[in-house]
Structure 1
């Protein structure tokens, strides 16, 4: 799966995407809160989904349950990991009222041994709307994301190319 600022190519198809508001940056320059999408080769390491909203997911997918959070606080011992509420450090709710995280592919960006300040998770998730930037993740049209999830293999990699 190859992503550029112009879109994504995967299995002979092209998909429009939205990227971080900070653009694509070299991985060495990525910092927490910069809103950038890091260039480079990233493994797909997981799939999260809302079981009350999404069905037909691979058997390796992990349900997002009430209280599931993602730590984005570089001072947290669980920085850049899924955690449970209550959680006293800064975090992002995975189970949201909107559908943004109904289906989320996790990458290995700064994971599993997170280096504080290098930026928390880079997810592949649905976009808010076309051309609306993310906080650094890669956003897809919901139907395209579902198609991609159905066609992933253990060997699938995300390659983010710099302009």
Structure 2
């Protein structure tokens, strides 16, 4: 369950459920407090979000390294990239509005999980470990100035 200031929020989570021992590739959503880091959006598809967070328009060469053996693991990268990675400029609409969450980033630990985002719902009805919210709810959340989200296995 996703909570903001103690209030339950409807959300989609990873196919692997919720895990306190998140690891790369388990398709689980990590349990705990996940701070908001910054926002990506597709300027060719959606309007710039209103938020105090840093906002960056995505470009076709934006990616995220999910290769635990690479020095760029769990970091934004520019494509092409030699390590295994995810393309942020997608054909679907999941990352049209996307918040980078603070998971395994301070410090980064190889294999503990990467690319945990708050994004728009995928057609499949589940994520690969991220959290998905409807666009109105996601926009309202990042506009409030909340520092992050709490995920509990209640």
Q: Same fold (TM over 0.5)?
A: yes
Distance 2:8 2:60 in 1: 34
Match of 1:49 in 2: 41
* Structure 2 residue corresponding to 1:101, chosen from 80, 95, 106: 95
- The question of 1:148 aligning with 2:131 is answered no
- The question of 1:62 aligning with 2:56 is answered yes
**Stretch deviating more after TM superposition (12-21 or 42-51):** 12-21
- The question of 1:160 aligning with 2:151 is answered yes
User: Which residues of 2 match residues 13-162 of structure 1 at below 5 A?
Assistant: 15-26=9-20, 29-57=21-49, 58=51, 60-129=54-123, 132-151=125-144, 153=145, 155-162=146-153
Contact 2:19 2:29 in 1 (8 A): yes
Contact 2:35 2:149 in 1 (8 A): yes
Classify the secondary structure of the residue corresponding to 2:140: helix
Taking a change above 3 Å as real, the CA distance of residues 160 and 11 of structure 1, as seen in their structure-2 partners, is closer
Q: Which runs of 5+ in 1 are unaligned?
A: none
Classify the secondary structure of the residue corresponding to 1:105: strand
- In the superposition, the TM-score normalised over structure 2's length comes to 0.89
Q: Quote the offset at 1:14 in angstroms.
A: 5.3
Classify the secondary structure of the residue corresponding to 2:103: coil
Provide the aligned length of Structure 1 versus Structure 2. 152
Distance 1:10 1:113 in 2: 25
Taking a change above 3 Å as real, the CA distance of residues 13 and 38 of structure 1, as seen in their structure-2 partners, is closer
Q: Quote the offset at 1:12 in angstroms.
A: 8.4
Q: Which runs of 4+ in 1 moved over 3 A?
A: 8-15
